[in-house]
Chain A
């Protein structure tokens, strides 16, 4: 593997450009590794499986797949396979297995941990042509879909029947169900509705050996070990999902969104604690600090209450009578915690207005800073005030600004660490702050990732959260299903070769956000 190419891109301290990666690769000797030769040998076989149309070998075409949503990590794939059926996926994976060539599954490429970072001497298996919704089965409250189907398309197909697909990652307009399965994606509403793993009933999986296996189906509780549960969130390291049976959830009778403004983060945090403490279970509780509000105002003029040092967005849904009772309760609890203004929205339009500021926050930060790092960490909810104070101190001590936008209900922080990439050493200082925030999360008993995944980006941070025996056990499980290590290698678990990498930098707006295909929040 030409890891040197990858490391060159990774250690520049700035987001590498496509040209950087191209140059590095072009400088590589033509007689690279035996593995590169192996990929070349596969091409005629791959063409026989996928047809002329289903295989990309041209370098400029391959380069369009060089990164996922974490654009800092780049690697031009050896070849790109675009299968249209499970049988094709199985044949490609079997071929890789037989030749010891690594494969990397990729959905829509919206991931934020470089989990779909290609392998330069491997096959990138892209599921984007497998995008049929095979069945919307209302009697069984499920949908059967191919992995390339966009998350939101399931909801679109189910909506006329009064149903939706509950997991709603911010990229849901484009991100694929297969990618959601790989990453165990959540979303703003997972506080009440859980993650992908809580909504997958059946999976067809192509194993790393190239066998097509059906696990579960429309019926719950398949006999034997819960392989579906272990496969969801395995980041493409245990195989490729080729057909997914997901739960459909009844659209709530009523949904209300509240926006409550506070003059301090502490007061907002108190409101969150009392809402949860009083037994209300909102579908979402989101929080933004003054810097994030400032950015959102600059970007979309969301008209949040003036002078707010913190805003909470609380969403309640369910049977009308229950929601009405809970709205009154939440309004009361916010006021008690010191809110100076609370707005309540019931119509779809009014609710969208409240969400607009929150949903724009990530992209909006580009308005107040040339570059930023998006961090993803989790703390126990009760540790939020302490951790937020420590982040403020970190920011003050380092002179690096940090905007806080997060899922307050479940303690999932998304600090945006701002810096000017034109300034010498700024990225290193920002990265230092970002890493310290992650350390704070672990110190407080939390997690190094709540929803973005480990991928390449955080593989080397796994030892901060898990001991050597824990990691060895993860690896034992991985090897039980992928003994040859061909399925998305060098991801999820630390390896000596991988570690030393730097985590990702986000510059400007994600290309999918810029083109209006996705929202990031």
Chain B
């Protein structure tokens, strides 16, 4: 599927101002249209010692610091293909496939990838490389839980497959886990196989606002104790606004009516029931500093209360997987101060994903990264010369 019978000659052109990444302009841009071409491109780049950064839809090029060097930008948009086995609820997709195209394709068969993208306009490869998962991760798992196989071209150009196209498989290391959220620092994702789910027949969104922290905490605890099995419970707070909770229920039309009633009981009688998701559901802000915040789930509301006075806080409360978003132009010292406040708490981790241009010196993006020595060992094995998105790996690797 990914291959082609003709001799692979990837398109390579000069970099243009549209190709800059974090202010760096690549000398060359390659647009391989098959895994073989991608392999050939990366083999050549390895031979010439070129620094490489990957681009899918380009929607997350401002995530992570600017690469320390950039010779070759590899654009994956021609790696666009969909191989769907509806009967097996499995799809394998080229990395450059737009997520929207994949979803439209699956919807025709009444199926879906149970993953809420956090950016509009991205590719499958970009979604995997950044690894960030939207609200419905609560029930269906984060993106990493939905990947069942992956083909990656290593920095040295070798094509390596792990996993497969069956949902149950424990043969070999699950290397896809390293590349999911690896930000393209360990190799180039060429294709990904996912497990799918049938599109549920019906959906309800139950939404409520709370003036105080205690109310939000009580509602969350009651949802947790109720048997309604929400697909998502999204918490949000921001300076000057009340706490908000949005629970998503999915299932059969008959089943959903009583479940929505029970969700309303758990969240309070002022809760509103809607029959669809709001536009922009799950999408994170596209400008301004953005950080991931991980907290023990029971402290989600506390995090929203503590940090929500200074910054927008939103995310999957029952997983403690939140994000922080500031308006563009927020002083870097303020961003750094919020991150420090979060990192001071035991078991909280805060990682700055996007900084305003030119502010990198002022903010520690990572804080402490447990297991960093092991991560560096993995990086050194796969990319010994640190040519792939240098500086964008864990702890600035």
A-to-B contact residues, CB < 8 Å:
137, 139-141, 162, 183-184, 186, 190, 194-195, 197-198, 207, 211, 213-230, 232-234, 250, 252-253, 273, 276-279, 281, 318-322, 324-326, 378-382, 407, 410-412, 445-454, 458, 462, 465-467, 469-474, 476-481, 492
Contact = CB atoms under 8 A, between A and B. Distances in A.
A110 B347 CA distance: 34
Contact of A446 (B164, B296, B321, B382): B164
Contacts of B167: 410-411
Contacts of A217: 296, 347
Given A234-B173, A325-B252, A222 B296 contact: no
Contacts of A213: 370-371, 373-374
Contacts of B349: 219, 221-223
Contacts of A250: 224, 227, 229
Contacts of A225: 178, 181-182, 186, 375, 378, 393-394
Nearest to B395: A224
Contacts of A220: 142, 294, 297, 319-321
A378 B251 CA distance: 29
A385 to B, nearest CB: 11
Interface string B233-265: 000000000000000000110111111001000
Given A217-B347, A224-B371, A227-B374, A465 B171 contact: yes
Given A229-B144, A322-B252, A473-B162, A218 B347 contact: yes
Nearest to A446: B166
B4 interface: no
Interface string B205-246: 000000000000000010011011100000000000000000
Nearest to A458: B171
Nearest to A379: B166
Contacts of B200: 279
B385 interface: no
Contacts of B371: 213-215, 222, 224, 227
A215 B166 contact: no
Given A140-B298, A223-B292, A223-B367, 4 more contacts: A139-B221, A195-B170, A228-B177, A380-B166
Interface in B318-363: 318-321, 347-349, 351
4 closest cross-chain pairs (CB), A and B: A229-B177, A224-B394, A279-B198, A480-B381
Most buried by B among A220, A474, A480: A220
A476 B382 contact: yes
B228 A319 contact: yes
B377 A480 contact: yes
Contacts of B181: 225-226
Most buried by A among B175, B292, B321, B373: B175
B162 A233 contact: no
Nearest to A213: B371
B110 interface: yes
Most buried by B among A215, A218, A412, A458: A218
A363 to B, nearest CB: 23
Interface string B171-204: 1111101101110001000000000011111000
B165 interface: yes
A252 B393 CA distance: 40
A228 to B, nearest CB: 8
A183 B378 contact: no
B2 to A, nearest CB: 14
A229 B168 contact: no
B394 A223 contact: yes
B177 A230 contact: yes
B254 A465 contact: no
Given A277-B87, A480-B380, A223 B366 contact: yes
Given A198-B145, A410-B168, A221 B321 contact: yes
Given A279-B199, A321-B254, A380 B90 contact: yes
